[in-house]
Amino acid sequence: MEKIFKYIDEHFDKMIGELQEVCKFRSVIGDREGLDKTATYISDKMKSLNLQCKTYPVDEGNPLIFGEKTGHENKTVLFYNHYDIVAEHPIEKWHFEPFKGEIHDGKIYARGISDNKGGLFSRLHAIEAILAVEKELPINVKFLVEGDEETGSTSLYKFAQEQRTIFKQMTKADLCIWENGRKDEQGNPWVRYGVRGGIGLEFVCKTANMDVHARLGSVIPNAAWRLIWALGTLKDVNEKVLIEGFYEKVIPLTEDDVKVLNDFPFDESALRNRTGNHKFLDNMEGYEVKEKLYTVPTLVINGLESGEMYRSKRLINPYLATAKANFNLVADQDPDEIIDLLRKHLDKHGFGDIEIHVTGKNKPVRTPINTEFTDIMRKSAEKVYKNPIVIELTALGGGPGIVFRDVWPEIPIIGIGPANTGSSHHGPDENLSLKDYKEAIKHIVSLLYQCAEK
């Protein structure tokens, strides 16, 4: 591996140039040109590495990109990534151009650089380095890259359902490496053992067919108030979700889980400083913060709108009110069951008129900490990182892990990658450290060789 690592060092500027190039494409939902250019750039990169590459179009969605290459040992690692990104707004909060890939003080800044183009290209660059030096991969590799992750992975779910036989063959592997991982402020590389689930929702309250003057508020129902009252039944002031049965299927923590949480070096002060919060909810600290973050599901209101005051201030009694919200789920909560419980809850409390529109859903999955790949992760990381790996109980973000588990119930899903705890996913000044990116490439190299020795 020393020769391969040397190749990475010598060709790192070229690799960064390719990463900058793919980040120039605005692959945001609805931007057809940006999405098409990104997909083409990725497939061309795979073909340049002599991967068997095929693009699968999906009706009313973005295409899936699949690539594979046979290695020396008959073992297979599947890499899952996505090429779609969230929009750059609010643009005024950025200090750098979001689609230039500018480098400042050892970091590269661009929308999508960390979520998730950097994660994907760190793996492609690892394959490039191995093939350049050894001409052959130690094991089989597969890439499955989708273009709708940020909007609920609708294309991936659709393809898996309609092309089940093909999808099952595409995803057959000993290990699935999830889209990303990160290093913390102390330089500890995190390894994630699963994917959180979630439900994206829109609540709609309509009380009439038009806005009226505010003076009629004593006789005409106010949509904003009615939606507020409905939302108020869902959660109490102590942050407990009040939907009957909501917590019923949450998996209890094992002794291994508790140990992982206790050992996890979560930097509370760094998070508070970064977000401008002097204290967490309920003044929690220490172990309780980690337990809440990683094992307790919740409901978050993302935004409320009524009256269109952003257009002009009007003294009205609005007839329409909407709210965007999401459930953050943990294993083994089922999104469909939660949606059903939510509907029953609103009906029971007299809010049968409140409409619920589901904008996306993912069922959470967990990978046991005691999997044989934990030792492989440790040994492979030792060859690259100064600090040992830190086990993260699960990724905090949601994702379509369940679509892989539906066809391969036992496949381990583990996340590693080049992000950092200040990468600003979905926020302004999204970034990657150049040092972290190089180490992530080398870690993939080391991992593939370690898997070959298993």
Distance CA 438, CA 125 (A): 9
Question: Could you say which of 362, 380, 408 is where a domain stops?
Answer: 362
Q: How many CA atoms lie within 13 A of 209 on its CB side?
A: 0
Over range 15-35, report the average pLDDT.
98
Report the percent of the chain where pLDDT is more than 90: 94
Residue 43 has pLDDT above 90, yes or no: yes
Distance CA 340, CA 336 (A): 6
| 361 contacts 152 by C-beta, under 8 angstroms | yes
- Shared domain for 404 and 386, answered yes or no, is yes
Residue 30: how many CB atoms within 10 A of its CB? 9
Lowest mean per-residue pLDDT among 85-94, 168-177, 271-280: 271-280
- Shared domain for 55 and 175, answered yes or no, is yes
Q: Looking at residue 277, what is its pLDDT?
A: 86
Q: Looking at residue 167, what is its pLDDT?
A: 98
Q: Looking at residue 273, what is its pLDDT?
A: 87
- Shared domain for 385 and 333, answered yes or no, is no
| 187 contacts 386 by C-beta, under 8 angstroms | yes
Distance CA 387, CA 314 (A): 58
Residue range 375-431, pLDDT digits in tens: 999 999 999 999 999 999 999 988 999 999 999 999 999 999 999 999 999 999 999
Distance CA 51, CA 274 (A): 41
Residue 274 has pLDDT above 90, yes or no: no
Residue range 223-258, pLDDT digits in tens: 999 999 999 999 999 999 999 999 999 999 999 999
Q: What band does 30 get if pLDDT is binned at 50, 70 and 90?
A: very high
| 80 contacts 115 by C-beta, under 8 angstroms | no
| 197 contacts 395 by C-beta, under 8 angstroms | no
The predicted model scores a pTM of 0.91
Q: Looking at residue 454, what is its pLDDT?
A: 80
Q: Looking at residue 369, what is its pLDDT?
A: 92
Q: Looking at residue 333, what is its pLDDT?
A: 97
Amino acid at 388: P
- Shared domain for 103 and 225, answered yes or no, is no
- Shared domain for 105 and 182, answered yes or no, is yes
- Shared domain for 379 and 353, answered yes or no, is no
- How many structural domains comprise the chain? 2
| 47 contacts 68 by C-beta, under 8 angstroms | no
Query: Do the bridges between strand 64-69 and strand 52-56 make them parallel or antiparallel, or are there none, so unpaired?
Result: antiparallel
- Shared domain for 206 and 179, answered yes or no, is no
Question: Could you say which of 307, 339, 362 is where a domain stops?
Answer: 362
Domain that holds residue 47: 2-193+367-453
Residue range 189-232, pLDDT digits in tens: 999 999 999 999 999 999 999 999 999 999 999 999 999 999 99
- On average, the pLDDT of the chain sits at 96
Q: Looking at residue 275, what is its pLDDT?
A: 83
Lowest mean per-residue pLDDT among 116-125, 267-276, 320-329, 436-445: 267-276
- Shared domain for 253 and 125, answered yes or no, is no
Q: What band does 322 get if pLDDT is binned at 50, 70 and 90?
A: very high
Distance CA 172, CA 176 (A): 9
Over range 95-108, report the average pLDDT.
98
Report the percent of the chain where pLDDT is more than 70: 100
Question: Could you say which of 319, 345, 362 is where a domain stops?
Answer: 362
Residue 278 has pLDDT above 90, yes or no: no
Among 3, 104, 115, residue whose Cα is nearest residue 442: 3
Angle between helices 434-453 and 2-10 (to 10 degrees): 160
- Shared domain for 208 and 275, answered yes or no, is yes
Amino acid at 305: E
Tokens of residue 23, six digits: 């980040």
- Shared domain for 116 and 42, answered yes or no, is yes
Residue range 145-168, pLDDT digits in tens: 999 999 889 999 999 999 999 999
Residue 266 has pLDDT above 90, yes or no: no
Over range 60-82, report the average pLDDT.
98
Over range 325-352, report the average pLDDT.
97
| 206 contacts 193 by C-beta, under 8 angstroms | no
Residue 302's CATH number = 3.30.70.360
- Shared domain for 251 and 164, answered yes or no, is no
Query: Do the bridges between strand 175-178 and strand 320-329 make them parallel or antiparallel, or are there none, so unpaired?
Result: unpaired
- Shared domain for 47 and 137, answered yes or no, is yes
Amino acid at 50: N
φ, ψ (nearest 5 deg) of residue 55: -105, 130
Q: What band does 113 get if pLDDT is binned at 50, 70 and 90?
A: very high
